[in-house]
């Protein structure tokens, strides 16, 4: 212990100042923590001295460690799962309510704040990360935020990814993400990026994985590493013919049958079903509202689909709005072919026609979570108040969930949407979506 000034207590009027002084000078300590400290390329061990009482009044985990039924009896504790600098900041906060966060220590401090149940410090780490977050580090921060179940931080990460994905995929962090996270990224509708640029990033990720494993980076090996869901997530039919020919074909990731189907689609043979999503990613919308029209989701009553079955609903609004898209029910790990139309039934004007393949994902509505997919519109659709509209979809694919406990009027922000069963232009088989049950889980409006 270094020399300590005489009567130091009298010059520090607050308990915080005295506690901080005790920690800095290692006064009256009764426990030592032995932790690794990185020193260049080597690693050594270093000791931090502390007080059991101070740590225990800040953390229920330390309380159990030192005063519980299975309390530590020694005066030394080994902590191999943390770094010296991060533990030092945890203790600094416990003694003084102060913490020195940086890009190099914040994730380690967040880990310790979570492990030792110090929520106020975890909040400070999250605030720092949200300010520090940018495309260069988002793929480094996101996996830890998911691991520690920091929902607000996870949401912020996805916003950065959606809006600035082209920069984010060029970061060092993207090259090291797990394949499961890569798949989650690739299937997102809300990415703001040209498809060829996303493919280049995915191909580079696969190449680096081959290098890491000591494998030859040929097309077959990269495809095996990427997996089929990642390949299906890339929207090859939306690329320019020149990009597809000069970039994608040279990578030799696609099979011959897939190449033929995409080329036929790109050369205006649009009726050819490629088996890959054929619609462009609409990009990130930050300011839309989700209007859920059902009270619950049914897992027992399902909708069955084929090319002859239709679902439709009629609706009107009490205010002019922009309709950004709709959500449809699906089922887990399945893909659906959708042909969607919106018409003004008062003058028989078609406002929108959209066709594509959509992969079902887990969607969180304000009332429940369900497996479904978002159909985001490529063009601006303005709906006028006091006008009746008709929304119809033809869905091809596996059986899906469906909504129930629907109501005729839904208030979403400052607009009221009124639904009614549609008899407009019905022909062939129908799945009988109506006000109480059926499809069209959510409307996405500006």
151 and 118 together in one domain? no
Answer whether 222's CB lies under 8 Å from 251's CB.
yes
Tell me the residue range of the domain where 198 lies. 146-266
Give the model's pLDDT for residue 356: 83
* Residue 2, in any domain of the structure: no
Taking Cα atoms as reference points, which of 252, 266, 268, 137 lies closest to residue 195? 266
CATH number of the domain enclosing 161:
1.25.40.420
222 and 309 together in one domain? no
Taking Cα atoms as reference points, which of 382, 384, 383, 388 lies closest to residue 316? 388
Tokens of 293: 């029209």
Phi-psi category of residue 38: left, alpha or beta, with phi > 0 → left and psi -120 to 50 → alpha? beta
Buried b or exposed e, range 109-138, using 16+ CB within 10 angstroms: bbbbbbbbebeebbebbbebbbeebebebb
* Residue 77, in any domain of the structure: yes
Taking CA atoms, 256 is separated from 252, 259, 260, 262, in Å, by 9, 5, 6, 10
CATH number of the domain enclosing 58:
3.30.710.10
Taking CA atoms, 24 is separated from 4, 50, 107, in Å, by 11, 10, 23
* Residue 390, in any domain of the structure: yes
101 and 159 together in one domain? no
Boundary of a domain, candidates 132, 158, 193: 132
72 and 171 together in one domain? no
Q: Which are the contacts of 270, defined by CB distance < 8 A and separation ≥ 6?
A: 278
Boundary of a domain, candidates 132, 166, 193: 132
Work out how many domains the chain is built from and give that number: 3
- Measured in degrees and rounded to the nearest 5, phi and psi for residue 414 equal -110, 20
Give the model's pLDDT for residue 304: 67
Give the model's pLDDT for residue 144: 87
245 and 363 together in one domain? no
* Residue 283, in any domain of the structure: no
Taking Cα atoms as reference points, which of 62, 31, 63, 60 lies closest to residue 48? 31
Taking the C-alpha atoms of residue 5 and residue 3, their distance in angstroms, rounded to an integer, is 7
Taking Cα atoms as reference points, which of 362, 363, 343 lies closest to residue 353? 343
Taking CA atoms, 395 is separated from 238, 279, 340, in Å, by 21, 15, 9
114 and 185 together in one domain? no
**Beta-ladder partners of 323:** 381, 445
Q: What is the pLDDT of residues 4-17, one digit of tens each?
A: 788 898 999 999 99
86 and 166 together in one domain? no
* Residue 280, in any domain of the structure: no
Boundary of a domain, candidates 231, 266, 301: 266
Taking Cα atoms as reference points, which of 423, 325, 343, 426 lies closest to residue 387? 343
Taking CA atoms, 319 is separated from 316, 412, 445, in Å, by 9, 11, 12
The strand pair at 409-412 and 415-420 is best described as: antiparallel
80 and 104 together in one domain? yes
Taking Cα atoms as reference points, which of 39, 124, 44, 67 lies closest to residue 90? 124
* Residue 88, in any domain of the structure: yes
160 and 116 together in one domain? no
Taking the C-alpha atoms of residue 53 and residue 38, their distance in angstroms, rounded to an integer, is 29
H helix or E strand, kind and range, residue 84: helix 84-96
* Residue 272, in any domain of the structure: no
The strand pair at 442-445 and 289-292 is best described as: antiparallel
Tens of pLDDT along the chain (446 residues) come to 456 788 898 999 999 999 999 998 889 999 999 998 766 556 688 999 999 999 999 999 999 999 998 877 788 999 998 889 999 999 999 999 999 999 889 989 999 999 999 999 999 998 999 889 999 999 999 998 888 888 888 888 999 999 899 999 999 999 999 999 999 999 998 898 999 999 999 999 999 999 999 999 999 999 999 999 999 999 999 899 999 999 999 999 999 999 998 998 888 655 555 566 667 676 665 567 889 999 998 876 666 665 556 888 999 999 999 998 999 998 888 888 888 999 999 888 999 888 888 888 888 877 888 989 888 887 778 999 999 999 999 888 888 888 999 999 999 888 999 999 887 665 555 666 889 988 999 999 87
242 and 298 together in one domain? no
Give the model's pLDDT for residue 73: 76
185 and 54 together in one domain? no
115 and 163 together in one domain? no
CATH number of the domain enclosing 367:
2.60.120.820
* Residue 92, in any domain of the structure: yes
């Amino acid at each position: 212990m270094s020399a300590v000034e005489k009567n130091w207590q009298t010059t520090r009027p607050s308990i915080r100042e005295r506690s901080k002084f005790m920690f800095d000078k290692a006064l009256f300590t009764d426990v030592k923590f032995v932790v690794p400290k990185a020193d260049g390329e080597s690693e050594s061990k270093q000791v931090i001295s502390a007080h059991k009482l101070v740590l225990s009044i800040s953390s229920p985990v330390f309380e159990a460690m030192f005063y519980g039924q299975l309390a530590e009896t020694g005066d030394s504790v080994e902590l191999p799962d943390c770094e010296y600098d991060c533990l030092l900041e945890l203790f600094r906060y416990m003694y003084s309510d102060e913490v020195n966060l940086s890009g190099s220590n914040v994730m380690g401090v967040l880990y310790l704040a979570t492990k030792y149940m110090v929520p106020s410090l975890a909040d400070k780490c999250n605030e720092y990360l949200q300010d520090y977050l940018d495309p260069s580090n988002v793929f480094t921060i996101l996996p830890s935020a998911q691991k520690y179940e920091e929902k607000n931080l996870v949401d912020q990460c996805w916003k950065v990814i959606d809006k600035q994905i082209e920069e984010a995929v060029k970061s060092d962090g993207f090259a090291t993400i797990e394949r499961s996270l890569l798949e989650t990224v690739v299937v997102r509708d809300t990415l703001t990026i040209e498809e060829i640029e996303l493919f280049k990033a995915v191909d580079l990720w696969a190449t680096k994985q081959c290098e890491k494993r000591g494998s030859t980076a040929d097309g077959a090996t990269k495809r095996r590493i990427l997996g089929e869901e990642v390949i299906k997530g890339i929207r090859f039919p939306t690329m320019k013919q020149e990009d597809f020919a000069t970039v994608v074909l040279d990578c030799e990731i696609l099979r011959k049958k897939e190449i033929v189907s995409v080329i036929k689609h790109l050369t205006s043979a649009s009726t050819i079903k490629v088996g890959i999503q054929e619609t462009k990613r609409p990009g990130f919308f930050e300011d839309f509202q989700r209007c859920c029209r059902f009270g619950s989701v049914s897992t027992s009553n399902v909708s069955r689909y084929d090319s002859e079955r239709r679902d439709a609903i009629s609706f009107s609004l009490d205010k002019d709005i922009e309709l950004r898209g709709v959500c449809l029910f699906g089922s887990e790990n399945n893909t659906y072919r959708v042909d969607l139309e919106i018409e003004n039934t008062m003058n028989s004007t078609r406002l929108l026609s959209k066709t594509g393949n959509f992969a079902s994902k887990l969607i969180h509505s304000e009332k429940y979570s369900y497996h479904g997919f978002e159909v985001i519109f490529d063009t601006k659709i303005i709906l006028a108040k006091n006008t009746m509209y008709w929304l119809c979809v033809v869905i091809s694919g596996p059986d899906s969930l469906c909504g129930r406990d629907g109501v005729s009027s839904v208030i979403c922000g400052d607009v009221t949407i009124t639904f009614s069963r549609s008899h407009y232009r019905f022909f062939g088989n129908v799945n009988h979506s109506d006000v109480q049950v059926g499809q069209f889980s959510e409307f996405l409006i500006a």
